[in-house]
């Protein structure tokens, strides 16, 4: 199959076929494992080895595309994902739709909203009840200043999956970001009014939080925190945020520390605790929290934890340590332009 020139044609073509044989893909499997652990440089090396060994080109290009996308190199991601779609010769399956979702995300990151919408158009032409595609196309419409079209897509997404409260909250955030706060709040309130009989305490707590009803949010989230089958980390993070939102940092710190005393392998909660301690002016405590978070070695959080620890040293006025740590940080993340600019500032202190 030859490489098509437009996102629409490629997306449509890819949705009719699938990737080839799953045999002989040792390096491909390694590459996707590295992506799962957020080790994108290693992932790209594995896909290079896979190419040398003649493994499935469709999967190689797909893997590279995802690695580039997650590394912030969206233009390279587009090139690889288009190549994956062009090499796609198997039977259609969920992977084909998934590749198109990544392609649309890459276009969106590049500000090429029309191309992203074309990909979602192609998905919806074959999966007309895909609520995620409607939601994401709506986000592109908002970015393109097409509010009415976005509203229509959001309404369709909610109608198709009215109990997907994570998606509804994301729709709220998108509308609020573009200045449609009243409309966004109305969507949340409707979800609460119509779904309270079957919503979980965590879902009620989330929506109450974004509606600004902090006392109700805390009540629901405290109940969720004590539920046996509820995943605790997201509950704890939002519960702490209800305190932070009201300026009650002591409450937030207590929530985070209580959780960490029983679950010390949560880099995300250590990071939030450290940020809260910075707001309190407890810079030594923040540094300790960030270091404990880094020790967990969560590849997804390590970069943020390192940068936040540097920030804590800056707030302390310890610019020498901050500068030394920034040099180490840039060795690991040389493409962080904001950190490069901050390093210039630190060099003058």
Residue 216: inside a domain: no
Rg (Cα) of the chain, in Å, rounded?
A: 23
Q: How many domains does the chain have?
A: 3
Element (H, E) at 92: none
The reported pLDDT for the residue numbered 345 is 72
Q: At what angle do helices 147-160 and 165-177 cross, to 10 degrees?
A: 170
The reported pLDDT for the residue numbered 342 is 78
Both 78 and 16 in one domain: the answer is yes
Residue 209: inside a domain: no
Both 105 and 134 in one domain: the answer is no
CA–CA distance, 97 with 102 (Å, rounded to integer): 9
Residue where one domain finishes, among candidates 97, 126, 155:
126
Hunting for tokens 């902090």 — which residue is that? 214
3-state secondary structure of 173: helix
Tell me the CATH number at 8: 1.25.40.10
Residue 249: inside a domain: yes
Residue 218: inside a domain: no
**Which pair of structure tokens corresponds to residue 63?**
């893997």
The reported pLDDT for the residue numbered 3 is 26
Residue 10: inside a domain: yes
What single-letter DSSP state applies at residue 101? H
3-state secondary structure of 248: coil
Question: Residue 214 to residues 115, 184, 210, 238: CA-CA distances in angstroms?
Answer: 40, 18, 9, 11
Among 207, 218, 272, 270, CA closest to 243: 218
Both 104 and 32 in one domain: the answer is yes
Cβ–Cβ under 8 Å, residues 171 and 138: yes
Both 243 and 193 in one domain: the answer is no
Residue 325: inside a domain: yes
User: Residues 323, 324, 325, 331: is their CA dihedral positive or negative?
Assistant: positive
Both 75 and 145 in one domain: the answer is no
Both 9 and 118 in one domain: the answer is yes
Both 118 and 103 in one domain: the answer is yes
Both 3 and 107 in one domain: the answer is yes
Residue where one domain finishes, among candidates 126, 150, 167:
126
Q: Please, where are the H alpha helices in 246-282? A: 249-262, 267-280
Both 97 and 139 in one domain: the answer is no
- What is the full per-residue pLDDT of the chain (349 aa) written as tens digits? 222 233 443 444 433 345 655 556 899 999 999 999 999 999 999 999 999 999 999 999 999 999 999 999 999 999 999 999 998 776 667 888 999 999 999 999 999 999 999 999 999 998 999 999 999 999 999 999 999 999 999 999 999 999 999 999 999 999 999 999 999 999 999 999 998 889 999 999 999 999 999 999 999 999 999 999 999 999 999 999 999 999 999 999 999 999 999 999 999 999 999 999 999 999 999 999 999 999 999 988 999 999 999 999 999 999 999 999 999 998 888 877 777 787 777 777 6
Residue 227: inside a domain: no
Both 32 and 95 in one domain: the answer is yes
Residue 158: inside a domain: yes
Cβ–Cβ under 8 Å, residues 59 and 28: yes
CA–CA distance, 153 with 150 (Å, rounded to integer): 5
Question: Residue 230 to residues 163, 201, 208, 224: CA-CA distances in angstroms?
Answer: 17, 9, 18, 7
User: Residues 96, 97, 98, 104: is their CA dihedral positive or negative?
Assistant: positive
Both 109 and 140 in one domain: the answer is no
User: DSSP letters along 182-196, please?
Assistant: HHHHHHHHHHHHHHT
Residue where one domain finishes, among candidates 140, 171, 198:
198
Both 116 and 146 in one domain: the answer is no
Tell me the CATH number at 194: 1.25.40
Which domain, by its residues, includes 96?
1-126
């Amino acid at each position: 199959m030859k490489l098509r020139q437009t996102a629409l044609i490629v997306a449509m073509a890819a949705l009719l076929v699938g990737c080839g044989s799953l045999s002989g893909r040792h390096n491909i499997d390694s590459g996707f494992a590295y992506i799962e652990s957020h080790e994108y440089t290693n992932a790209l090396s594995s896909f290079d080895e896979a190419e040398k060994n003649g493994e499935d080109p469709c999967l190689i290009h797909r893997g590279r595309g995802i690695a580039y996308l997650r590394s912030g190199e969206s233009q390279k991601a587009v090139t690889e994902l288009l190549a994956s779609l062009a090499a796609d010769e198997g039977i259609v399956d969920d992977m084909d739709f998934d590749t198109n979702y990544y392609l649309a995300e890459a276009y969106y990151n590049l500000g090429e909203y029309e191309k992203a919408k074309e990909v979602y158009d192609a998905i919806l032409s074959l999966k007309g009840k895909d609520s995620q595609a409607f939601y994401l196309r709506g986000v592109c419409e908002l970015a393109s200043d097409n509010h009415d079209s976005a509203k229509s897509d959001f309404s369709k997404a909610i109608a198709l999956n009215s109990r997907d409260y994570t998606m509804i909250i994301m729709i709220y955030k998108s509308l609020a970001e573009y200045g449609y706060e009243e409309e966004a709040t109305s969507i949340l309130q409707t979800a609460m009014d119509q779904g309270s009989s079957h919503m979980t305490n965590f879902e009620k707590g989330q929506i109450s939080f974004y509606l600004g009803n902090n006392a109700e949010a805390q009540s629901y989230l405290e109940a969720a925190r004590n539920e046996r089958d509820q995943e605790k980390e997201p509950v704890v993070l939002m519960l702490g945020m209800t305190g932070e939102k009201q300026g009650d940092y002591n409450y937030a710190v207590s929530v985070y520390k209580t959780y960490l005393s029983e679950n010390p392998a949560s880099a995300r909660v250590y990071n939030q605790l450290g940020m809260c301690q910075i707001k309190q002016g407890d810079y030594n405590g923040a540094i300790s929290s960030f270091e404990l978070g880094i020790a967990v070695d969560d590849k997804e959080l390590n970069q943020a934890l390192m940068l936040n620890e540097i920030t804590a040293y800056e707030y302390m006025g310890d610019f020498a340590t901050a500068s030394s740590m920034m040099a180490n940080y840039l060795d690991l993340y040389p493409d962080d332009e904001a950190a490069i600019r901050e390093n210039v500032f630190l060099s003058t202190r």
